Chains A and B, each alone.
Chain A
């Protein structure tokens, strides 16, 4: 059966001036909604002298104050659990997810209604359809299915489009590989790091994934590596499959960008559901096509917690839609997400803020100094090791401390495993002024 190329041809090929008119309409409506219903947004809009009536042209978006993760977290701390961000009653929610916070143990918490949750899967459907997933596919999710939003929306997207879904939840890597082969999965979804790990494990088990399996598509998310040419080539060769990148964030609940089957070396922006700006991270001024800047997202989807001009801290290079031959009129982030301009690190798909790690470590009075060491195991898997020095005389507490601190760090980071290493006293650098306790020893991505 021949399927159409686009999930939604009406908007995916909409001329740009009409697309912008649609964005303006949605922007105005979303701001009116947020102003009327979310005390957080009303307060911020009023403080900035902004009212939704001022939105006459798309450029007027610059009148809206930028929203930051820090403000979101402060609002949650002032008024637990969700701050004053909610635009409707909590009883309308059917779904709760979280992502690790920028400081200490407080996560960013989100709620979705039935309509919002379905919209989340709808955004994944744009991306999966564009990369060639069809009802005839068998889609395997190598994903933990926990509080972290991860591939949840993609799972429901595949059910929606009629594919056979295999939720590879809490299993060993070996069991997952065997299931992928046994069930003849045609599409595998994971982080880039884990896709490499699965391939390596298959080799150890004497399984030839290319010969014994039927995988022809790998869909990646959670780390920027899906758009790094060297990683992509390595994965495509290893799996004998095409590799497609996507990127999303818990703050909007879903993906904003996806790679289509034409593989233009970047990811299309879902522009009928998001308004993405690229700004200079320090001046806040818009940067042009081809220039590196920070992506700022306005979502037209989740109304429960509106995300309006939210600073993502992701660095991107925007290029025109015509860079791709697929016919979509949606612009592209060349090379996907290029990195971060703040200090957040991505470890196996989980956000890690060094200051949040430090806040937890500092709760332990027996710890004198520490260092966060990021490295890549066997050139495949990202690891985070906390090197610790105990105060003299406290060495006997190490075993208990190791267990408890390991638990505390994992609990604040969606279960992420931290390696803890006891260092001899005086080995780590001690700082008097500006401390540099983070070492990122992972290879630098080449675009």
Chain B
């Protein structure tokens, strides 16, 4: 039994490099899907705002209080949008911290600057979005024919670009962030509309996708290779899409399922 968990990109690299007469395209790759359907999260758009009621208030102890928040996905659940599919969530934070971040944003100098930093610290609230990058066959990684790492092993070559869906979703992130802050009575300080470059989220997923059909997927529901039954891939490779959440818990849950399956097969004497 070989259990591969080198993380999404390195697992794909290892599988694509593991060629033999039985596996000419790399191990477990009869479907030609290893390295494809690479996906992650589109980030960048977000908002910074000011809660005016908190300006100049006595300092409070905010450590251990839930000043950070998560806004779960709300787009395309009931009312469907016409410009993009799927959705995004927001992660945000507020409250007093040990070092006032607004000291580096507040303009000016002298006693007015010092007082502004003091009065406005703890009155800011900000959030940024994590959106789903759609899995597409053409988005992926392959073995670079030229570049090798310092051990002489070929590196991965990326063929990965955001599509219109991600760009339209990102535009909506900025717009909905503003809408929510304005509706909440939060003064909008700045709205960021820029998309961070591809790969920024470092939530790499989906290079050996899971599925029931060996012709169109690499792994089964137990993250076990369709082609090579004693090979399991237990990182983010099996994800069929990125959704919009941090993937670690899903990776852990799927790994748990894989372990249960192995234990059960061992008990039956099949392993």
Mutual binders A and B: no
